[in-house]
């Protein structure tokens, strides 16, 4: 069961990674175009600022999900460092942190869905696309965080029970 979840999660994370890289390229190109047209051509290209902003927020939310899986999020490690010689307590701490991340991410999913619904009729000023497309990154990224936290918890439990977490 854990191996199936890990494979599905790895596929999801590959999609998030690929999309994040593509969106980073979009941010770079849109920003470069904006700078070039504004300062070299003395005329601003319409919509590039919104494209860069929308790509950036999507990239950030998918990147946050990837950070959860790789334990790359910001931490205050004082408690974890003090538990270095107590592997059982450290495992409990790790699971507790992942549960808190999962709760926070679940809030993002629920509130993000509400935000997407609430902004369904609004359009962006420059591009005219629905604002809800931009806000959809919140529940998508939150769902990725929930899934990654769940896999991290299951791996930690599997390791402590003597199972193979690979």
| pLDDT tens track for 7-30 | 999 999 999 999 999 999 999 999
Residue 166 domain-assigned? no
Residue 48 and residue 142: Cα distance in Å, rounded? 27
How long is the chain? 166
As given in the structure block, the two tokens for residue 36 are: 């070039």
Residue 163 scores a pLDDT above 70: no
Element (H, E) at 63: helix 48-69
The residue assigned the tokens 């420059």 is 126
Residue 160 scores a pLDDT above 90: no
Segment 148-154 mean pLDDT = 95
Q: Find out whether 146 and 112 touch, Cβ atoms under 8 Å.
A: no
As given in the structure block, the two tokens for residue 22 are: 């593509």
Residue 25 domain-assigned? yes
Residue 164 scores a pLDDT above 60: no
Residue 165 domain-assigned? no
As given in the structure block, the two tokens for residue 3 are: 């191996």
Residue 68 domain-assigned? yes
As given in the structure block, the two tokens for residue 30 are: 């849109």
Helices (H), 83-130: 87-118
**pLDDT top residue among 31 and 82:** 31
Residue 87 domain-assigned? yes
Residue 84 domain-assigned? yes
Domain that holds residue 107: 2-160
The residue assigned the tokens 């977490």 is 165
Binned at pLDDT 50, 70 and 90, residue 158 comes out as confident
Residue 2 and residue 155: Cα distance in Å, rounded? 8
Q: Find out whether 30 and 48 touch, Cβ atoms under 8 Å.
A: yes
Task: Tally the domains of the chain.
Answer: 1
Binned at pLDDT 50, 70 and 90, residue 76 comes out as confident
As given in the structure block, the two tokens for residue 17 are: 């990674």
């Amino acid at each position: 069961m854990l191996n199936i979840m890990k494979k599905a999660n790895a596929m999801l994370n590959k999609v998030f990674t690929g999309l994040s890289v593509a969106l980073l390229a979009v941010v770079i190109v849109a920003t470069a175009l904006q700078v070039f047209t504004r300062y070299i051509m003395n005329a601003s290209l319409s919509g590039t600022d919104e494209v860069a902003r929308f790509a950036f927020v999507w990239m950030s939310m998918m990147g946050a999900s990837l950070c959860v899986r790789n334990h790359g999020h910001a931490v205050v490690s004082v408690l974890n460092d003090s538990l270095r010689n107590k592997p059982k307590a450290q495992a409990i701490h790790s699971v507790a942190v992942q549960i808190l991340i999962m709760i926070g991410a679940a809030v993002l999913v629920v509130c993000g869905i509400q935000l997407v619904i609430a902004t369904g009729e609004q359009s962006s000023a420059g591009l005219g696309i629905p604002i809800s497309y931009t806000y959809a990154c919140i529940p998508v990224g939150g769902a990725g965080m929930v899934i990654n936290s769940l896999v991290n918890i299951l791996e930690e439990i599997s390791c402590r029970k003597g199972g193979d977490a690979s």
